[in-house]
Chains A and B, each alone.
Chain A
Amino acid sequence: MGVEGIGARVARKEDKRFLTGKGRYTDDMVVPGMKYAAFVRSPHAHAKIKRIDASAAEKMPGVIAVLNGQQMLDDGIGNLICGWMIHSKDGSPMKMGAWRPLAHETVRYVGDAVAVVVADSVGEARDAAEQVVVDYEELPAVTDAATALTAGQPQLHPEAAGNLIYDWAIGTSEAETDAAIAAAAHVTEMTILNNRLAPNPMEPRAALGVYDSAEDHYTCYTTSQNPHVARLVMSAFYNVAPENKLRVIAPDVGGGFGSKIFIYPEEIVCLWASKRAGVPVKWTSDRTEAFLTDAHGRDHRSTVKMAFDKDNRITALKVDTIANFGAYMSLFSSSVPTYLYATLLSGQYAIPAIHANVRAVYTNTTPVDAYRGAGRPEATYLLERTIETAARELGVSPAELRRKNFIRSFPYQTPVIMNYDAGNYEASLEASMKQADWAGFPARKAEAEKRGKKRGIGMSCYIEACGIAPSAAVGSLGAGVGLWESAEVRVNAVGTIEVLTGSHSHGQGHETTFAQLVADRFGVPIDSVSVVHGDTDKVQMGMGTYGSRSGAVGMSAIVKALDKVEAKAKKIAAHLMEADESDIVIENGEAKVAGTDKTVPWFQVALSAYTAHNLPGGMEPGLKEGAFYDPTNFTFPAGCYICEVEIDQETGKTDIIQFVAADDFGNIINPMIVEGQVHGGIAQGIGQALLEGVHYDAQSGQLLTASYMDYAMPRADDLPSFQVSHQNTPCPGNPLGIKGCGEAGAIGSPPALINAITDAIGNNDLSMPATPQKVWAAIHAAH
């Protein structure tokens, strides 16, 4: 590697603008004549809309228009859709209820948008929104998914009888799995709750719709992780405008964590309103709106049986999960508890029989979709809590029980679709135990006891499927899109290089990492490489960034384009030096004839391509190549996390003494950035385990955690510094050997923490978030 090439710890190119206040986020955008939108939202979890009276609002100062859902329907704007078809066990398609961008008949959760006010200022728009009178007929509401499935509950959508969206199963037959469980020497049974979370990127969502009547063209600035997908969906399904008349720009985006993948009502409304009202319309979410309307994550209730033979080998796993989808099916919601969750239920273990059943359920709550990890944290939490509990029941060490059941030869076909290509689970387990001084724990526990503190240690061995995903494979599983990525490499006439990518960076540092890839290939400085992303007018097409796919898929597309550029550059260089093409090497910013002192500088090769005065016969001018890369398999990052805690018996407060992460991410381009991703993921996982939880009032359906005063975000003094290391096995499935690192921290950490706390307090009956109140109660219940 060079100082700036693959594997180098390069400081980020994009940092200066963020550090000096020059970042440009959607809310920073100003266009001439721009006005502001405020939404009228349902204060009820479930109600019929009888009448909307905007007459008072329309007379308020600064108001330009008050628009409603009936007008949107009249203008032919379509329903919001879920783009992944799941079929139930009985073969019937999932039951998708209608989701209107502005509700005109029924509201189904607190925050459901009903009308929009466009006014000269944000303040005037909000003042007027308060004057829109909506006459509601309240209906009973249900917020808990298991309750929503029972008889006599409120029904959300006529399409989904009993609020059931699908009843889906995967894996070994239920009969075969039951038989294995019946024959087992030991069965561990648990009920596992995975708490509902609010993603909370620090930048709230925002959208700016600009309609150009002369060109009949729309521009949408939006906080998106995948602007091309937004354009595709808004064109093909929501009927906002044809793709060639709609430009979507996702400029700097302040974090996403999944919540900015989806297409929400607000950007559709801003675009539509910009034509209806004849002015550019900007909307920026406040934090309470974000809690109310950004898609939530998790919210699973599962029962699990894990069966062991007399040698403590796992013989079967049976899982029954109820997934709360909220009031509407968000864009990729259906895939999360199925192909991103149940397919990972083998974990790192050889389990001959796995049967999982998943029911997806409507409730009067905010829609639920992918949040950092998306299904994989739920699978890992379920498995790692269960195997830890089994170790305690069997009286064996948790490490030994895991070791005994590790998958050790690859490729390995699980009973739940996934084919693991490479890994070394033992290596991460050993590294983390050594790092955490696992052997020294009993002495530390004894010492803590002398101080009146309860000390515990817990581990978690996770696997995830990233590099999402082979298009034909996901197509066969119901995906409405292909999950390839595209790239274009443009070498300018002076040798500087632009990389256009369909990946989108909202904190991941692509402008640096992707430039390192190019620097490595041609030996040019990363400052001469610019990375362009986030604009459908500039980048040909792209599927965006989520599922830890930008390295494994996005960079693989860049590699393919670089291959083509290099091949052409070598032809040109060979022609210039009258050498054989196969003897040309490009490195250190020049093309050389191997074994001679003949060289041509890189810029000269580029310039020759564009002057075209002396190119090989028949060659087209220019040095610019594009590529699409479609992965051949998922990638399988894995690792072992260990957490050690100390608990104050008087208050139930948990202090994290140490947190160790040992990951296998395959090859790494920039270790500094990868470590940063792990830190952030762990913090979100610790947040889930210790602090965070979305709560609704079960009767009224009111969201009780709608601000940072009520929803506990991890703060600096809630967290320790983390100890992270890598034990990498290259991924055989893509040209760079990358597995992906964006979600691992959030996937691996929650069970390690809860295993540590339950170890400390001697009571296994504890759900997330393990607040001091819950831990205190669990300590006292145990004695």
Chain B
Amino acid sequence: MTKVTMTVNGRQVSGDVEDRTLLVQFIREKLGLTGTHVGCDTSQCGTCVVHMDGRSIKSCSTLAVQAAGSEILTIEGLARDGELHPVQAAFKAHHGLQCGFCTPGMVMTAVDMINRYGGALDEKTVRENLEGNICRCTGYHNIVKAILAAAAEMSAGRQAAE
């Protein structure tokens, strides 16, 4: 067992973990943050995506010990003061989710994607950047629409702020 300490959703947390404990297991089982999911065994489906130090990662293929000292953001930490993040709001407005199981990973991937591309996102780029996230319900149609809408809104928000 190794003691790890990290910041999760702005709060410092510690726990004893086995060497083999995955970050997703630490998040789900030790911290009880069950919004991050496990949908495959091969790092393909993306239901486990969280942010580590501001970049999206797959928490199913990251050991908990690797995340020691880092800042982790999970889906539970995205909405602030009861207000949905613009990406969450766009998924709702555009019906970008059905069963909800892939949704947390999709949203976390989308936030990172928009952060990286800003207003330069188009449909092709969004689809290519969703390569690591599988959805079985929506056919991606409304997820793509939601991400493009959120990107446009966040970009407009930034311009207004400047």
Interface residues of A (CB under 8 A from B): 11-12, 14-25, 27-28, 30, 123, 200-204, 252-255, 257, 284, 286-288, 506-509, 672-673, 675-676, 679-684, 707-709, 713-717, 719, 721-722, 745
Contacts and interface: CB of A to CB of B under 8 A. Distances in A.
Interface centre among B84, B92, B124 (most CB of A within 10 A): B92
B139 A507 contact: no
B23 interface: no
10 A-B pairs with least C-beta separation: A21-B35, A18-B100, A254-B101, A683-B139, A507-B99, A708-B44, A507-B98, A716-B130, A21-B75, A679-B139
Contacts of B138: 676, 679-680, 683
A202 B13 CA distance: 29
Interface centre among A509, A673, A680, A714 (most CB of B within 10 A): A680
Contacts of B119: none
A15 B92 contact: yes
Contact of A679 (B91, B93, B141): B141
Contact of B97 (A18, A25, A200): A18
Contact of B44 (A24, A30, A679, A709): A709
Contacts of A681: 139
Contacts of B95: 11-12, 672-673, 675-676
Chain A interface main SS type: loop
A18 B79 CA distance: 12
A19 B91 contact: yes
A348 B130 CA distance: 38
Given A202-B45, A252-B100, A257 B128 contact: no
27 contacts: A11-B93, A11-B95, A14-B100, A15-B100, A16-B84, A19-B88, A20-B76, A21-B104, A22-B76, A25-B34, A27-B34, A27-B38, A252-B100, A254-B37, A255-B99, A287-B40, A287-B45, A507-B98, A509-B98, A676-B98, A676-B142, A680-B137, A680-B138, A681-B139, A716-B128, A719-B139, A719-B140
A116 B93 CA distance: 45
Interface string B87-117: 0100111010111111110010000000000
Contacts of B100: 14-15, 17-19, 23, 252, 254, 507
A22 B143 CA distance: 19
A681 B137 CA distance: 8
Contact of A708 (B40, B84, B99): B40
A20 B83 CA distance: 10
A255 B98 contact: yes
Nearest to B91: A19
A22 B104 CA distance: 10
A508 B137 CA distance: 9
A680 B136 contact: yes
B131 interface: yes
A708 B139 contact: no
Contacts of B45: 202, 287, 708
Interface string B14-51: 00001010000000100011111111111011010000
Contacts of A713: 44, 134, 136
B21 to A, nearest CB: 8
Nearest to A676: B95
Given A202-B101, A679-B141, 13 more contacts: A15-B92, A19-B79, A24-B34, A28-B28, A203-B37, A254-B99, A254-B102, A507-B98, A676-B95, A680-B139, A708-B44, A715-B131, A719-B141
A202 B140 contact: no
B139 A722 contact: yes
Contacts of A679: 138-142
Given A202-B39, A286-B41, A721 B101 contact: no
A14 B101 CA distance: 13
A707 B45 CA distance: 10
Given A682-B139, A715-B130, A721-B141, A15 B33 contact: no
A717 B131 CA distance: 7
Nearest to A28: B34
Contact of A716 (B39, B44, B76, B131): B131
A21 B33 contact: yes
Contacts of A19: 75, 79, 84, 88, 91-92, 97, 100, 103-104, 107
Interface centre among B36, B37, B102 (most CB of A within 10 A): B37
Interface centre among A30, A507, A682 (most CB of B within 10 A): A507
Contacts of A204: 38-39
Given A202-B99, A202-B101, A15 B130 contact: no
B102 A202 contact: yes
B65 interface: no
Contacts of B53: none
B111 to A, nearest CB: 12
Contact of A506 (B78, B99, B123): B99
A683 B134 CA distance: 12
B143 A20 contact: no
Interface in B115-133: 123-124, 126-128, 130-131, 133
B98 A21 contact: no
Nearest to A713: B134
Contacts of B72: none
Contacts of B143: 716
A121 to B, nearest CB: 9
B144 interface: yes
Contacts of B144: 716, 721
A679 B141 CA distance: 7
B37 A717 contact: no
A136 to B, nearest CB: 25
B59 interface: no
A202 B139 contact: no
Nearest to B89: A19
Given A676-B142, A682-B139, A253 B99 contact: yes
B135 interface: yes
B40 to A, nearest CB: 4
Interface centre among B74, B79, B98, B99 (most CB of A within 10 A): B99
Nearest to A19: B88
A680 B139 CA distance: 4
B42 A200 contact: no
Nearest to A745: B139
A22 B35 contact: yes
Contacts of A719: 127, 139-141
